[in-house]
Chain A
Amino acid sequence: MIDSKHMGPALAILTAAGMAACAGGGDESGSAGEARETIAVFTKNQTNPFFEVVRTGAARAASDMGADVVQYIPTRPDNIPEQMSQIEDVVVRRPDAIVFTPVDTQAMAPGVEQVNAAGIPVVNITDPVAGGDIVSFVGCDEVTLARDTGRYVLERIGGAGNVVILEGVGGSVNSNNRVSGFMAAVEEFPDVTLLASQPGNFQRLQALQVMENLLQTYPEIDAVLAANDSMAMGAIEALEAANRPALVVGLNGTQEAIDAIKAGTLLASGDCDGFNHGCLGAMAAIRHVRNLPVPDEILIPITVVDETNYQPLDIPLEERMCPAWETLAGE
């Protein structure tokens, strides 16, 4: 017999989970009669603004095309076993297609193979997964992105001076590509000296502390090349506090970076639009389900955003519109 003492907490859980089910499953049951496709969108974490922009883009594209999206995000940021479990769970749920950002390009390959085995099409976005079959890859060349942005700031310091690089998470594909792009730019200018290249783990606080320490070691720093905008903003905090001038560039084109460019604290941010990643990823997935042609690879154009060209990105996320399919994925 279940005595009443146990029922309280159990009911509390049930109620909470029940509300969750209504919140989460509502749109699906509402459209049970029609044949709306469901697209499962996988992103790496809930903390990086870039992925919120990706998710919003995917949701926008899906609603434009009359499909539903379900978002899957690991509860621990960038957790490999957890994303693997989420893939297994989604295979049970059987969405019509999956838009997939791997938390790790190598270790998530078996996950994509599992989805393949279940016969669910996969569109891979942002980072290219190392195995399995995909319908299409939507992303950008991050080496070029970093090289162009690095080149931009090095030209602005007159092609001569001392620079530091702030790396992302050591060993991650994003960080490796971005750092090698920065390195390529530095090598183009013989009078530029690379003082240090230190990891800031894509985090603002770590970048701030690394920058504070580097400012002590090096009396003259002319430019800072940060592998994402959060670290660029951390570096700016350190520079301002130490009252040291240096030109700073970041990558990702986040709203915060745009505002800093407008305020004149950040020189530029290399942008490979996350919103377009989400849009094109979801569009490609839905088009594939609807038997429309989809190219193997869709490269999102790269922009070095500075004070002259930030306007197209400077609108609230909810108001942004997906580009027409043909403009970015035209044959």
Chain B
Amino acid sequence: MSRAAVLEGGARWRDAAAEAPGVAWLLAALLVFFTVFGPRFASAPNLLNIGIQSSILLLLALPMTLVIMTEGLDLSMGAVLGLSGIVLAAALVAGYGLTVALGAALLVGLVFGAANGLLVTRVGLPPFAATLGTLGAAQGAALVATDGQSVVGIGPGLPALYASAWLGIPFSIWVAAAAYGAFHVLLYHTRFGAYVFAIGGNRDALALAGVRVDAYHAAIYALGGLMAGFAALLLTGRMNAGHPTAAIGMEFDAIAAVIVGGTRFERGYGGLPGTVLGVLAVGVLKNGLNVLAVPSSLQVASIGLLVIAALLVDSIRGRS
């Protein structure tokens, strides 16, 4: 290799390093640390565990990235995921096939997502207030419908699908990877994606160019609801049941993962690879601390520490 090529390669590497959000460094540090100190942390089954445990969160964090890039927020995703899971499980219990049940869950998600979109764009509510309202609605509907009980007896089909693996990789990781692929194409290689960046960065110019900004903006929220409905497939398969409160608080985890991954509430700034790193950092931290059997109170504090440390690294480098 010529000296120039080496230099160029080095420069490219430096650029990539400068581009990488702070969480990339933290993730690398965590991986090294747990590999050194954690017995069996770096084993294949454990790394697959991290993938399995991160997949549901990723399904929420991907659309959340788009929502946040457009200066928004979706607090209802966890509750909608819970409600969709109830519907999915109830449909299976009632004897419908998996396709019908998943369709029903997706429909519930889409309805709530579209409601969020309309409330934010047409009615003009702040996204925080609008989605806090729909959070309550979805949560309440799930509780009232089930009286707080699990929905059980969903049959062997979905759990078997969830437990299946292809090429040694579990189903949920394939689903998460496919979802990432779809979102990557959507955000970076379609007109819709370009509009997402523009809505966050320069909404007025977009409107002047004759684009139906409100429709695209609402569609982003609808997509969020749809993904929450889709995530119900994994959550229900994982628990072999529907449960009204199982996903409470997951929207905050998703928001944290997105922000930790470098996406910001302003200027259409951010990206999907960072979100994956953010989700993985949270997943690796929780898994590693469990493998090390760290006391739970310290685990709780570490999550906060990770979030703030990742932000600090970015802030010190002047990115926020």
Contact = CB atoms under 8 A, between A and B. Distances in A.
> Do A and B touch (CB < 8 Å)?
yes
Nearest to A109: B240
A70 B41 CA distance: 17
B290 A85 contact: yes
B298 A92 contact: no
A85 B287 contact: yes
A75 B49 contact: no
Interface string A135-173: 000000000000000000000000000000000011110
A297 to B, nearest CB: 22
Given A25-B293, A85-B290, A110-B240, A10 B37 contact: no
A263 interface: no
A114 to B, nearest CB: 9
B238 A110 contact: yes
A9 B26 contact: yes
A66 interface: no
B316 interface: yes
A5 B37 contact: no
Contacts of A88: 49, 52-53
Given A9-B312, A13-B305, A75-B300, A81 B152 contact: no
Contacts of A20: 289, 292, 294-295, 298, 302
Given A10-B29, A107-B246, A170-B143, A93 B291 contact: yes
Contact of A24 (B43, B294, B305): B294
9 contacts: A17-B33, A25-B292, A28-B293, A72-B290, A74-B296, A88-B49, A89-B46, A89-B287, A92-B40
A71 interface: yes
B299 interface: yes
Contacts of A2: 17, 25
B22 to A, nearest CB: 7
B19 interface: no
B179 interface: no
Contact of A84 (B152, B239, B250, B293): B239
Contacts, number: 166
A86 interface: yes
B289 A14 contact: no
Contacts of B52: 88
A171 B147 contact: yes
A14 B35 CA distance: 12
B141 interface: no
A71 to B, nearest CB: 7
B148 interface: yes
A18 B306 CA distance: 14
B122 interface: no
Contacts of A90: 290
A110 B49 contact: no
A23 interface: yes
Contacts of A298: none
A244 interface: no
B296 A92 contact: no
A84 B292 contact: no
